[in-house]
């Protein structure tokens, strides 16, 4: 199993192959379909206005963590079905998103965007949100608090287990 510091994802992405198991450490941003819709609306309204977080080199985790229990950093935070983000993914990839974490397959348009922009799609284990939460070191809400659990949160991960679902060459296991 390979360890990856997400700050170096752009450099290591070409070396990853579909099916590789990896442990991710570094910054990710949670965003589900409601947050994606708001990001696209912001871009449409004013493409020169900075977003609440930089897409350049960003990794987006398709998750909406549950409320944080006392004494914990985060509640359960398992992946959601990635195809719900497919309408937004090619555009966000063109703006610098380096990776995505979710579950399930992706559309052919997303596979092509991943290949074109040298990104990576990681598959996380569905149904194991409590286990995933153990890899979260810190949490900070960065955008759209009105969305509740679906607000955009910045997470710092340590050894978050995933499988490369679609590599930067467009090869896929899902």
- Exactly one of 36, 38, 106, 172 is catalytic; name it: 36
pLDDT tens for 32-80 read: 999 999 999 999 999 889 999 999 999 999 999 988 889 999 999 999 9
Q: What is the CA radius of gyration of the chain?
A: 15
CB environment 111-149: b (16+ within 10 A), e (fewer): bebbbebebbbbbbeeeebeebbebbeebeeebbeebee
Residue 89 to residue 119: CA distance in whole angstroms: 11
36 annotated active-site: yes
How is domain 2-166 classified at the CATH fold level?
Answer: fumarase (3.20.130)
Whole-number pLDDT of residue 109:
98
pLDDT tens for 11-35 read: 999 999 999 999 999 999 999 999 9
> pTM for the complete prediction?
0.95
């Amino acid at each position: 199993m390979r360890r990856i510091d997400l700050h170096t994802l752009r450099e290591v992405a070409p070396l990853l192959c579909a099916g590789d198991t990896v442990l991710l450490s570094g910054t990710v941003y949670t965003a589900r379909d409601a947050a994606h819709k708001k990001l696209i609306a912001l871009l449409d309204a004013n493409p020169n206005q900075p977003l609440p977080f930089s897409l350049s080199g960003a990794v987006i985790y398709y998750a909406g963590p549950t409320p944080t229990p006392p004494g914990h950093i985060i509640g359960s935070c398992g992946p959601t079905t990635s195809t719900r983000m497919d309408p937004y993914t090619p555009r966000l990839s063109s703006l610098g998103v380096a990776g995505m974490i979710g579950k399930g397959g992706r559309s052919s348009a997303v596979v092509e965007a991943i290949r074109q922009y040298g990104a990576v799609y990681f598959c996380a284990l569905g149904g194991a949100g409590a286990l995933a939460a153990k890899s979260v070191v810190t949490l900070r809400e960065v955008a759209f608090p009105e969305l509740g659990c679906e607000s955009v949160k910045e997470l710092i991960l340590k050894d978050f287990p995933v499988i490369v679902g679609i590599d930067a060459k467009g090869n896929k296991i899902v």
